[in-house]
Amino acid sequence: MGLNRWRKVALATVMASAPVAVASASTPARAASSVVVTLSASLTHALSDSDNVYFDASGTHDSSCPGGSYLYQFDFGDTSPITTSTYAFAYHYFHVPVGHTSKSFTVTLDVRDSCSNSGVAQLTEHVDNDTPPLADLNVTPTSFSSTDCPSSAFEVYADASASQDNAESSPYEFDFFWGDGQETTTFAPTESACHLYAAPMTYPVMVNVIDHAGLQASVTKTIHVPSISSPAAPADVQAHPASAAATVSWSVPASGGAPSSYTVTASPGGSTSTVPGNVLQAQVSGLTNGQTYSFTVTATRGSGSATSQASNPVVPLGQPGAPTGVTATASDSAAVVSWTAPRDNGSSKPLSYHQGELGYTVTPSSAQGSLPSIHVSGAPAPTEVTIPNLTNGVAYTFSVTAANALSASGPASSMVPVAPEKIGPTISKGPGFKLIEPSTVGSNATELPLTMTVIWTGHAGSAPICSYALEQSINGGTWTPVPLTSPMATTATATIPKSQDTARFQVEATDCSLHVVSGWVQSAEFGYQFYEEQTRNHKFTYTAGWTHTPCAGCAGGFDETTTTPNATATLTLNSAYNVGLIFTVGPSVGRAEIEQTGVRPSYINTYAPTTGYRMLLFKTGWSSFQYAVIQVVNVGTGINLDGAVVLYAPLAKLGT
């Protein structure tokens, strides 16, 4: 075609038709007039093997028929039918006959209006025979970092964007034939494609380019696909927890083929996440908060793959709940703040130490603003802390925030302000007592004083504690001092003279200004009873294999002996606080197993190079006075059982 793309055809000479007058019985004849007709043509994109021309008659008018309508008849000068329309434009496809290189067509437009006037215009449209496009193709292998084909194993990139066309139309369709039975079709403006080959060999790659006129051309190039090597395993796999998820990163394998993709797998559970080969991080979701996970990363290239070592273990955690029950107790220039741990720690299960227990942040505030926060941690973290460096006489409130290893809760605040003031020392935990093990009970078979340890705790006030005093009363008698190993000692050794005596202890603290301000704090009244090994006291029962044996150094002059394997002595107590078991030790005896209800067995060794009497070798106790059953089982060469020491409080109410 002799036109440039989109060039308009010059206007044809305007022709006026002979006037036409239409008369009827009801309408008088009108004066003759003519319609001024204009016509132009412009090339449009062809949609088949033809030239598509747009004809425009919008300039047509009849001044004698204002507001009238027009009927347009287009005769395109070829074998196609005349087109009649009320629209002032038309499209037409011109075909160059077979065997011709070009042809001219005379286009005639006949216009009639509603006033029965008419006009005619003509123009000549010259059409050349269409020429096919010129195909071009460039085929290159890609890499894992390619932006054209980002998910490659051995992948090629075929580019036909340099294909050219004649002046009449543009490339429209690109058919890529890859030589392995596969093909890809794209449409303008996409003029390229990617393809993944499964096997190594040389392939012919062809592109067939089709233009809007339906003409086409093709070109073929070859591409050699080498053997595809499997990737090596990813390295440096690191996991970072989040809430119900984890982010996993890794390094590119040091050898092997470039991966086309990576798959991260969680253990346990098997949750996965897959990313392209140019991405070195992925997030795995759907995990359980509080569960310990590790992750492996599998690199894939073609049919080959390699899996990394497991990552570091991580524990996803959600946001913990806020603490509750925040209270504060004032002291000198300080306050003790306590709270209750939240029920929700951000985990589906209790947190173990290596997973990171809850920690707390305590922030004091007054009318002058907030003070620096104090952080509390541990395994588990305590739910009480002393806030120092406060100003006496100033009222403070305290907020407490809980945090696990990943996130923090909202704050919980104390409701009642407290004001620190000067205070004296206190005994925060009064005298307690426990048996000493191992130790010797008494000095001979009949005199059986019991030695025990007394324990207490003090709390300093405005001035540090410089000394303690401990006193003892036996059977309600006079208070007598108990010697301490040092002024600041918080334990002492005391003796109850004999079985069924009662005892009570009291302790006081003295601050460094030498003013006693704590007051005496007393223990409960308690006593001890020595139960000999004999069955007549109804405390001990024995299986077969035990012998009641005279023993001059034993309590009461006897002990109970056995060499029978698994021979068992059972001690039954209606109520007790501390219990100690007494044995005769020596070279002919050995191990004993001690069994208690709900407690794992304990083992003691009664062997000694020389004989020893009334030896307290095992003790146990409870936080409250309770019923207890203890069994002694021979699991060695033999044992000599001499009895039991039992602490009661108060002795007089137990009916022993």
The domain boundary residue, chosen from 94, 128, 162: 128
Whether residue 588 is predicted with pLDDT greater than 90 in this model: the reply is: yes
Is the same domain home to 177 and 206? yes
Question: Residue 435: which CATH number?
Answer: 2.60.120.260
Q: How many CA atoms lie within 13 A of 550 on its CB side?
A: 1
Residue 656 pLDDT: 32
In this structure, the answer to whether residues 594 and 489 fall within a common structural domain is yes
Exposed/middle/buried for residue 477 (C-beta within 10 Å: 0-12, 13-18, 19+): exposed
Q: Are 570 and 541 in contact (CB under 8 A)?
A: yes
351-365, 419-433, 563-577: which is most confident: 563-577
Question: Does residue 508 sit in the same domain as residue 565?
Answer: yes
Whether residue 540 sits in one domain with residue 631? yes
Q: What is the DSSP letter of 484?
A: -
DSSP state of 169: -
What is the length of the chain? 656
567 inside domain: yes
pLDDT digits (tens, 9 = 90+) for 65-95: 888 888 999 998 888 899 998 888 888 877 7
Q: Using CA atoms, how far apart are residues 272 and 287, in angstroms rounded to an integer? A: 10
Place of tokens 């146990």: 620
User: Which amino acid is residue 140, in one-letter code?
Assistant: T
- Buried b / exposed e along 166-185 (16+ C-beta atoms within 10 A): bebbbbbebbbbbbbeeeee
pLDDT of residue 160: 63
On whether both 270 and 178 belong to a single domain, the answer is: no
Identify the band that residue 18 occupies on the pLDDT scale cut at 50, 70 and 90.
Answer: very low
CATH for 299? 2.60.40.10
333/624: higher pLDDT: 333
CB atoms near residue 275 (< 10 Å): 17
Which pLDDT tens digit goes with each residue over 356-398?
567 888 889 988 888 888 888 877 788 898 988 888 889 999 9
Structure-token match 């089982």, residue found: 633
Domain-embedded: residue 159: yes
Same domain, 502 and 469: yes
**Is-above-0.75 flag for pTM?**
no
- Taking the C-alpha atoms of residue 144 and residue 151, their distance in angstroms, rounded to an integer, is 6
**What's phi and psi for 355, nearest 5 deg?**
-85, -10
- pLDDT, mean over the chain: 79
Is the domain of 162 the same as that of 207? yes
Q: What percent of the chain has pLDDT over 70?
A: 80
Mean pLDDT score, 96-109: 81
Instruction: For residues 72 and 625, give the distance between their C-alpha atoms in angstroms, rounded to a whole number.
Output: 117
Q: What is the pLDDT of residue 348?
A: 59
Reported as a pLDDT band with limits 50, 70 and 90, residue 605 is very high
Residue 281: band (very low, low, confident or very high) from pLDDT cuts 50, 70, 90: very high
> Domain for residue 363, yes or no?
no
For residues 556 and 507, membership in a common domain is answered with yes
Distance, in Å, from the CA atom of 394 to the CA atom of 131, rounded to the nearest integer, reads 98
**pLDDT tens for each residue of 227-263:** 666 788 899 999 999 888 999 999 988 777 778 889 9
- 48 and 163, same structural domain? no
CA distances in angstroms from 407 to 239, 320, 402, 476, listed in the order given: 17, 7, 9, 58
Q: Is residue 110 part of a domain?
A: yes
Residue 19, pLDDT > 50, answer no
Q: Which residues contact 24 (CB under 8 A, 6 or more apart)?
A: none
- The structure tokens listed for 90 are 């038309």
The model's confidence at residue 198, banded by pLDDT at 50, 70 and 90, is confident
More confident residue, 113 or 444: 113
Domain end, chosen from 225, 253, 287, is at: 225
Is the CB of residue 341 less than 8 Å from the CB of residue 358?
yes
Q: Are residues 511 and 646 in the same domain?
A: yes
Structural domain of 534: 430-656
Task: Give the model confidence (pLDDT) of 463-507 as tens digits.
Answer: 788 889 999 999 889 999 999 999 999 899 888 888 778 888 999
Any domain includes 239: yes
Among 391-405, 590-604, 616-630, the minimum mean pLDDT is found in 616-630
Domain end marker among 258, 290, 307: 307
**Residue 513 vs residues 179, 424, 517, 518: alpha-carbon distances, Å:** 101, 10, 10, 13
Residue 632 included in any domain: yes
Question: Is the peptide bond prior to 438 cis by the omega test (within 30 degrees of 0)?
Answer: yes
Query: How many CA atoms, within 13 angstroms, populate the side-chain half-sphere of residue 407?
Result: 19
Residue 359 lies in a domain: no
CA–CA dist 333, 258 (Å, integer):
67
> In which residue are the tokens 């806030």 written?
387
Does residue 314 lie within any of the structural domains?
no
Token couple for 223: 């591409």
Q: Are residues 441 and 574 in the same domain?
A: yes
Give the integer Cα–Cα distance in Å for 470 and 491.
9
CA 238 to chain centroid, in Å, comes to 14
Give the chain's domain count.
4
Name the DSSP letter for residue 269.
T
Residue 110 in contact with residue 73, Cβ under 8 Å? Answer: yes
Q: Is there a single domain that holds both residue 515 and residue 655?
A: yes
Q: What is the pLDDT of residue 17?
A: 35
